[in-house]
Amino acid sequence: MKTYFRLLSFAKPIEKFAIPYIITTLLAVLFGVLNLTLLAPLFGVMMSDEKPAPAPTDAPASNFNVMAKFQEFANHSLATNGPEKTLTYICIIIIISVLLSNIFKYFSQRTMEDLRVHTLLNLRKTVFNNVMNLHVGYFNNERKGDIISKVSSDVQVVQFTVTNTLQVVFKEPVTLIFYIIALLMISVKLTLFSLMVIPISAFIISKIVKRLKQQAKESHESFAKMIGFLDEALGGIKIIKAFNATQRIKDKFHAENVFYSNLNRKMVRRQQLGSPVSEFLGVLMVSFIVWYGGSLTMSKQPGALSVGQFISYIAIFSQVMRPAKALTDAFSGIHSGIAAGERVLELIDTKPQMVNKPGAETIKGFNQAVTFENVSFSYGTKEVLRSINLTIQKGKTVALVGPSGGGKSTLMDLIPRFHDAKSGTIKIDGHDYRDLTVESIRAQMGTVNQESLLFNDTIFNNIAFAKPEATEEEVVNAAKIANAHDFILNTEDGYQTFVGDRGNRLSGGQKQRICIARAVLANPPIMLLDEATSALDTESEKLVQEALNNLMKNRTSIVIAHRLSTIQHADQIAVIDKGQVIEMGNHSELITHNGLYKRLIDMQTFTD
């Protein structure tokens, strides 16, 4: 229940919806029950050859016995106006009662739908906001499909279950109480006899749905795996087809799909078993009531039920099982919602590791240097960087080189504070990173990665991503500096051309130049270039390299590069191997050292 009430907190301010819902539901239920209680006088009038029967002696004597009052009205009208006019009056009253019942039922359902949408909006917003606040390292350890499943499917299940259960928990018990009151008004003895079915039904249903929560949790996890398979398959479709792995991927997806389907089948069978069981018990009880109540009616004893009252009693009791059945279905369905809710709350409760400390300062610009002082970093127990000491002066180009897996990219990720160092200090203009806001540090930097990441939007909006308020002239100038303007004009709609999912309508070189234009438009004092030309053909590489050279002019640049020309012109080269800076200097100095850098040059690790 703790999980349920926490999920319910996303419906706040719940009183905005609860008060009108309670009022309209009470009125809808009241008039709905009244419709059935009017059957006794109706049948009494239709069988007007009988002597009007008084209220049964075992019915509670109360001024609020609506049925008795209405029976008195019917008897009086029957004696005064005759059966035809009395029947007309009763029918008009029933029509008005049904109309009011349905009007209030409509407003009740509309209010609940507003609450459902409001809850879904708050829940999905909270989940997505928290995902966006999480540190970069979190996404290296989690399956993307699992996150997508939680944000989309699981949230939907939670929203429906929470609001549906809330609706059932209030409406159905109230309906049940009103029906029982109506039954007691007709016959206390018969009602006490008939209510024995409810605890028996509840006990049997609880046994049926006992394992639903565990199965629901497994079902949500299996669905998340399928979403993950789908995402991977769509993202790697070229590789799958290139290696003739289509059938293998199909089989992998099908196996998980079969597991998910079988699990859902078992869950649905358990859920659906509750409905016929409760319905059978209800019919069984009705049969006993017909037998017992019918014998009382036919006995013609003083205080026995009239035929009209007995028919009305059967009609009302047949409706008692409906709210009881709804409670049963809600009880079985809530397990799936709670299981999904636990997965969603787990994501909400994941705290971002990169949080601004209280009173963190904002750095307004970059004037001196970025320095690493004895910086070490590890992923879990695996140490990736050890005792890094490095100074990146303003206006200088620093190249990071070394064997693959040496720690270059990790070092680059520490500069925009995607991660915090496990030990040591990183400073910008003498300020410890931990004393500054993450946002102000990243505002000083622009990034161009090896993978050209574009959004499924127009070329204009992709370039303006770093500066949404940019004018058309600013975007065009940035594109010209990035050698992108000419090819953009040759596209279908120019700057308003959509690039497709992840930019797949453009070539690798075109995507990279748009990324460079984006960085140019941001105009940061520090540029981070992570092997920005390594995946391009020779012609595209030349254009992109020229764009990068334009980008790096009069800026501080940190480059992971494989082009010898870039490295040779760097002001400083840091050779990184096994998580340590083992050599430092410019190209000429490092060549004379005859160390790892010289060996990399001799092995033609770098291209010209």
| pLDDT at site 63 | 45
The answer to whether residue 54 scores a pLDDT higher than 60 is no
Q: Is pLDDT larger for residue 274 or for residue 120?
A: 120
Q: Which CATH superfamily is domain 369-602 in?
A: P-loop containing nucleotide triphosphate hydrolases (3.40.50.300)
pLDDT tens per residue, range 1-22: 677 777 777 778 888 888 898 8
Whether residue 316 contacts residue 36, with contact meaning beta carbons closer than 8 Å, is answered with: yes
Class for the domain spanning 2-349: mainly alpha
Query: Residue 373 — φ and ψ, nearest 5°?
Result: -120, 105
| pLDDT at site 208 | 62
The answer to whether residue 136 scores a pLDDT higher than 60 is yes
Q: Which amino acid is at 476?
A: V
Say how far apart CA 133 and CA 156 lie, in whole Å: 22
| pLDDT at site 333 | 63
User: Per-residue confidence at 439, pLDDT binned at 50, 70, 90?
Assistant: confident
Summarize the confidence of residues 166-193 as an average pLDDT: 79
Confirm whether 2-349 and 369-602 share one CATH topology. Answer: no
User: Per-residue confidence at 460, pLDDT binned at 50, 70, 90?
Assistant: very high
The answer to whether residue 49 scores a pLDDT higher than 60 is no
| pLDDT at site 61 | 44
| pLDDT at site 18 | 83
Q: What residue segments make up the domains of the chain, in order of their start?
A: 2-349, 369-602
User: Per-residue confidence at 374, pLDDT binned at 50, 70, 90?
Assistant: very high
Preceding omega of 525 cis (within 30 degrees of 0): no
Q: What is the pTM of this model?
A: 0.66
User: Per-residue confidence at 66, pLDDT binned at 50, 70, 90?
Assistant: low
Average pLDDT score, the chain? 79
Say how far apart CA 8 and CA 47 lie, in whole Å: 52
The answer to whether residue 561 scores a pLDDT higher than 80 is no
The answer to whether residue 126 scores a pLDDT higher than 90 is no
Burial string for 472-490 (b: 16+ CB within 10 Å, else e) reads eebbbbbbbbbbbbebbee
Q: Is pLDDT larger for residue 57 or for residue 107?
A: 107
The answer to whether residue 377 scores a pLDDT higher than 80 is yes
Contacts for 272-278 with beta carbons within 8 Å, 24 or more apart? Answer: 273/208, 274/205, 274/208, 274/209, 274/328, 274/329, 274/331, 274/332, 275/325, 275/328, 275/329, 277/201, 277/204, 277/205, 277/208, 278/201, 278/204, 278/205, 278/321, 278/324, 278/325, 278/328
Contacts for 432-437 with beta carbons within 8 Å, 24 or more apart? Answer: 434/357, 435/357, 435/360, 435/361, 436/360, 436/361, 436/362, 436/363, 437/356, 437/360, 437/361, 437/362, 437/363
Say how far apart CA 25 and CA 10 lie, in whole Å: 22
User: Per-residue confidence at 41, pLDDT binned at 50, 70, 90?
Assistant: low
pLDDT tens per residue, range 472-485: 999 998 888 888 88
Q: Give the burial class of 449: count Cβ atoms within 10 A of its Cβ; 0-12 exposed, 13-18 middle, 19 or more buried.
A: middle
| pLDDT at site 426 | 92
Summarize the confidence of residues 364-380 as an average pLDDT: 89
Query: Percentage of the chain surpassing pLDDT 70?
Result: 81
User: Per-residue confidence at 288, pLDDT binned at 50, 70, 90?
Assistant: confident
The answer to whether residue 60 scores a pLDDT higher than 60 is no
pLDDT tens per residue, range 197-226: 666 666 666 666 566 667 777 777 787 777
- The number of C-alpha atoms within 13 Å of 579 and in the hemisphere containing its C-beta is 13
Query: Percentage of the chain surpassing pLDDT 90?
Result: 8
